[in-house]
Amino acid sequence: MIKPRIGIRPTIDGRWGGVRESLEEKTMAMAKSAAELISGSLRYPDGTPVECVISPTTIGGGAEAAICEDFFASQNVVATLTVTPCWCYGSETFDMNPRTIKAVWGFNGTERPGAVYLAAVMSAYAQKGLPAFSIYGQDVQDLNDNSVPADVQEKILNFAKCAAAVGWMRNKSYVNMGAVSMGIAGSYCNESFFQKYLGIRAEWVDLTEILRRIKLEIYDPAEYEKALAWIKANCKEGYDKNAGKTLPEIITKSKVVPPDEDWAFIAKMTVIIKDILFGNPKLNQLGWHEEALGKNAVAGGFQGQRHWTDWLPNADFTEAIMASTFDWTGPKEPVAFATENDTLNGVSMLFGKLVSDTAPCFHDVRTYWSPQAVERVSGKKLEGAAAGGFIHLVNSGASALDGTGAAKDAAGSGCMKPWWDMTPADIKACLEATEWSRADYGYFRGGGFSSNYKNVAEMPVTLLRVNMVDGIGPTLQIAQGHTVLLDDKTHDALDQRTDPTWPTTWFVPELTGEGAFKDVYGLMAVWGANHGVTVYGHVGDRLLTLASMLRIPVALHNVPAGQVFRPHAWAAFGTECAEAADYRACETYGALYK
């Protein structure tokens, strides 16, 4: 597979006889600097460097633009970065391919008018209906200075990271395991949204396929044994909520897999679901050629409740370990795999993973705890970051184990890491911070285990959610904030009121004093659904850029204005209210693959 690449287009003043010749070296130096910056700084989700290709010629006019386009067509170029230190002929040199995402870096120097070309070509792109990102350094550089200023680097990397994410999703599949869970609207897969906005194919797999593969032993037995042994060695069992209870017959007779066989069933189920999503050449060796292919997935979700969990072990372990940066094979790429097959939260997991390189943590956006309510229930007066209250992020049994915050950065602080940076010590710490509690048989008659943890570190995180709104289409919500720590007594007093077998994160958004971010309650009051996703770090700026590429308007965010990077044409839709301009621009341009 050719990975999605960034094509670098060095444009130049086309006048031969001294002008063009004098600019060749500088123009190509800019192209090479940009390519080196991108490949040396960014990685694909599989951990390999983002790849760039440079036009075989500088581009002084339409003929050379065509040569460049023919070359890029063979290289799976998803986005182009045009670079120039000088004046060029705008409509003759610009990228007119409607399928590529576009940016232009105009060199800020006084010797040649690179900035003039940048302004001219942005005007051309706007007139042609081809949104493009404008990149221009704040400080004037000398013509012989081939360095890339820090502010230019930031925009180039933001653009390239998000463009690579668009390309990574394209022509892959979202795999619906099962159907709709408990009437949750997000579980209704909108295949038109996946196709037109993301370039993703929607596929469905009935949950009976898992049972077929278990019965016919359509899985790699060696991997199953390895997974089960790893689970028994590393996944410690915790609190059993069912112990000592007299359960009604409707529950006891529904537990068809004996409790002591739950882990074996879950290990097989997890191995099989991985195979369904991504394929497995070992199955080909076993004679299962069709099954070996997989579904070319980039994300998926598991219905679970209730047609599965009313009689079979839940998929909480599967969902948690798929989304984590490790499993029995060691460090591995996390998978956006949604609880209750909430497809919109699955997309949110995918967006978050692609821009942050960290595990996406699935949550119920469960409860706003005011300072007054916390003090009434626990006797604790909140202070510090939690003084204004917080939101209880929890999930009905599953969330990536990285969400514990047990991994350590270079300074020894709790964090979440890209999978390629996870050490054996990090993996061990995340496992030790997690208990696997017996599923509550009242909710999950078929049993299973839930990932039970509380976040053990205060970390910067970004909460996000994609929503579908009739009359608008998809929208995105973004809230940068931090996890907060509660002492054990306060945590227990609050956590016991929900379900103490589930993973808990206490979250506080960064407040701006305005709109949804006037206070913590304000965010909770306008959150668009019962689910959301957190990823590590403050990556709202990249989410904003990605959303603009996909033409998804952002309904709310608390990203500082100076960090917002959208196509230049967005300013033509208004500059006083950027939120309204974003809605109008997305409506005007329409879905990326419409």
Cβ neighbors of 8 (< 8 A, separation 6 or more) are: 31, 34, 35, 52, 53, 54, 55, 80, 81, 83
Q: Which helix (H) or strand (E) holds 507?
A: strand 504-509
User: 5 by DSSP, 3-state: which?
Assistant: strand
**DSSP tag of 373:** H
Would the pTM count as exceeding 0.75? Answer: yes
Please name which of 368, 404, 364, 359 lies closest in space to residue 386, comparing C-alpha atoms. Answer: 368
**What gap in Å lies between CA 499 and CA 241, rounded to an integer?**
9
Q: Pairing mode, if any, of strands 5-10 and 52-54?
A: parallel
Please name which of 159, 161, 154, 103 lies closest in space to residue 132, comparing C-alpha atoms. Answer: 103
Angle at 592 between CA 588 and CA 594, to 5 degrees: 80
Q: Count of CB atoms within 10 A of residue 236's CB?
A: 11
**What gap in Å lies between CA 116 and CA 99, rounded to an integer?**
26
260 is catalytic: no
Catalytic residue among 364, 402, 458, 541: 364
**What gap in Å lies between CA 251 and CA 228, rounded to an integer?**
27
* CB 452, CB 437: distance < 8 Å: yes
Q: Pairing mode, if any, of strands 132-135 and 201-205?
A: unpaired
**What gap in Å lies between CA 530 and CA 556, rounded to an integer?**
16
Catalytic residue among 95, 316, 340, 541: 340
Return per-residue pLDDT of the chain as tens, 594 residues.
Answer: 789 999 999 999 889 998 899 899 999 999 999 999 999 999 999 999 999 999 999 999 999 999 999 999 999 999 999 999 988 998 999 999 999 999 999 988 767 777 889 999 999 999 999 999 999 988 888 778 888 999 999 999 999 999 999 999 999 999 999 999 999 999 999 999 999 999 999 999 999 999 999 999 999 999 999 999 999 999 999 989 999 899 999 999 999 999 999 999 999 999 999 999 999 999 999 999 999 999 999 999 999 999 999 999 999 999 999 999 999 999 999 999 999 999 999 999 999 999 999 999 999 999 999 999 999 999 999 999 999 999 999 988 899 999 999 999 999 999 999 999 999 999 999 999 999 999 999 999 999 999 999 999 999 999 999 999 999 999 999 999 999 999 999 999 999 998 889 999 999 999 999 999 999 999 999 999 999 999 999 999 999 999 999 999 999 999 999 999 999 999 999 998 999 999 999 999 999 998
**What gap in Å lies between CA 421 and CA 404, rounded to an integer?**
16
Query: φ and ψ at 224, to 5 degrees?
Result: -60, -45
**What gap in Å lies between CA 321 and CA 388, rounded to an integer?**
33
364 is catalytic: yes
* CB 105, CB 156: distance < 8 Å: yes
